[in-house]
Amino acid sequence: MIEASSIEELSLEKACVTIGSFDGVHRGHQKLIENLKISAQEHNALSAVLTFFPHPAVVLKGVDTPFYLSSPYEKSKLLKELGVDVLISIPFSRSLANKTPEEFMQSLSIHTGLKELVVGCGFTLGKNRSGDVSVLSSIGRKLGYKVNCISTEKVGDETISSSSIRKMLEIGDVSSAAHSLGRYYEVEGIVIRGDGRGRTIGFPTANLDTFPQKILPAIGVYRCLTNVDGQVYLSVGNVGYRPTFTDNTKLVFVEIHLLDFKGDLYGKNLQVQFTHRLRGEVKFPSFEGLVYQIHSDIKAARDVKDDPFSRSISA
């Protein structure tokens, strides 16, 4: 996959392009990509995705809480797996937002040899969001490209969107999030040293240093699938404040207990998929009560059957 950080550094002969934030690369995005690849085949052209980081909402609305469904690296990896030929990831800024649709599309057309623009039917770009499908089609007639408008993807009657998936994760509904994503929600991170309490009570945990701007599932205990060096382990994960051990109410920790694993995890990069929420986080009056609950959590994790997305985890 060709990767670029600006439109201007490209000089493509012929391409079909889709544009968007593609945060999470969910099933709606996947539908766009499939149609993009079909268009590229018809034109004997490259398939190109133009995306942004930071997200426009972070720049224009001042969002400063964990927000992203995918880090830039994860987004790149997911798009590569979908078979995209070119990824253009450009910095989003207020000056970019103030460009007219004509200015933006002329630059894109010159540098990519644009033959077809594949976007959702509600897509807009440019100053004051003035570049809707009708305007972009009109510009295309002058610049020599056509616009292919793709309908939204739905789960039941609900339209799939990155914002709806964020709301699911905020309440810990990782099962619904998985159906919208087409895979389990994944958090990746390096294992760092914690306080070692898990090991002292017989349940060693991997403490993850995750991408700080990525949204975590709601505080609670989850059944997970964890990838360690290409091997997947059933796991119990805790996203929370460790209330049994501390009065902390600000720092959120991600701790993973891998079932049936033996070895040293420090410094390793783990990919953790959240499959089911088991319970909320509780402050236990004693270590004995915590240990009893952990045994119950492990049994609950083992008892869950039929994982429709379990094959999606990858090294």
Q: What is the CATH number of the domain that holds 271?
A: 2.40.30.30
CB atoms within 10 A of CB 161: 18
The helix or strand, by DSSP H or E, that contains position 154, with its residue range, turns out to be strand 154-155
174 found inside a domain? no
Claim to verify: residue 15 and residue 154 sit in the same structural domain: yes
What CATH code is carried by the domain that includes residue 110?
3.40.50.620
Asked whether residue 197 carries a pLDDT value surpassing 90, the answer given is no
Span 175-193, average pLDDT: 94
- pLDDT of res. 315: 28
Of 143, 158, 173, the residue at which a domain comes to its end is 158
Q: Which two tokens stand for residue 126?
A: 């440019």
pLDDT tens readout for residues 198-226: 555 568 889 999 999 999 999 999 999 99
pLDDT of residue 251: 80
pLDDT for 250 equals 66
Q: Is residue 179 in some structural domain?
A: no
In a shared domain, residues 22 and 149:
yes
**Residues 104 and 197 grouped into a single domain:** no
Query: In Å, what is the CA distance from 198 to each residue of 83, 237, 257, 290, 297?
Result: 42, 12, 9, 11, 14
pLDDT over 70 (residue 195): no
> Do 199 and 300 sit in the same domain of this protein?
yes
Domain count for the chain, please give it: 2
Helices (H), the chain: 27-43, 56-60, 72-81, 94-97, 101-112, 133-143, 162-170, 174-181, 197-200, 287-303
User: What per-residue confidence (pLDDT) applies to 203?
Assistant: 80
Q: What is the pLDDT of residue 312?
A: 42
109 with 149, same domain?
yes
Helix (H, G, I), strand (E, B) or coil at 119: strand
The confidence score (pLDDT) of residue 313 equals: 39
Average pLDDT for 272-276: 96
Q: Which DSSP helix (H) or strand (E) runs through 131? A: none
Q: Domain check: are 15 and 148 in the same one?
A: yes
Residue 199 sits in the same domain as residue 138: no
Whole-number pLDDT of residue 162: 96
pTM of the model: 0.90
pLDDT at 178 over 70: yes
Burial class of residue 260, CB neighbours in 10 A (0-12, 13-18, 19+): exposed
Residue 311 pLDDT: 44
**292 located within any domain:** yes
My answer on whether 150 and 189 are in the same domain is no
Structure confidence at residue 249 (pLDDT): 60
Q: Do 28 and 144 share a domain, yes or no?
A: yes
Residue linked to tokens 């390096």? 190
192/283 same-domain check: yes
Average pLDDT, stretch 13-40?
97
Cα 106 from Cα 100, distance rounded (Å): 10
Answer yes or no: is 154 within a domain. Answer: yes
Residue 5 domain flag: no
Contacts with 145 (C-beta within 8 Å, 6 or more apart), sequence order: 109, 114, 115, 116, 117
Euclidean distance between CA atoms 184 and 169, whole angstroms: 11
Q: What is the mean pLDDT of residues 136-160?
A: 94
Q: How far apart are CA 22 and CA 70, in angstroms?
A: 9
Per-residue pLDDT averaged across 28-50, rounded? 97
Residues 42 and 129 in one domain: yes
Q: How many residues does the chain have?
A: 315
Q: Is the peptide bond before 54 cis (omega within 30 degrees of 0)?
A: yes
Residue 90 has a pLDDT of 95
15, 142: one domain: yes
User: For residue 168, is it within any domain?
Assistant: no
Is residue 171 domain-resident? no
CA angle 145, 147, 150 (to 5 degrees): 155
Mean pLDDT value across residues 3-22: 96
169 lies in some domain = no
Please give the mean pLDDT across all residues of the chain. 90
- Segment 3-7 shows an average pLDDT of 95
Percent of the chain exceeding pLDDT 70 equals 90
Domain limits for position 288:
185-312
Encode pLDDT of 276-313 as tens digits: 999 988 777 677 778 888 889 999 999 987 666 654 43
Identify residue 16 by its one-letter amino acid code: C
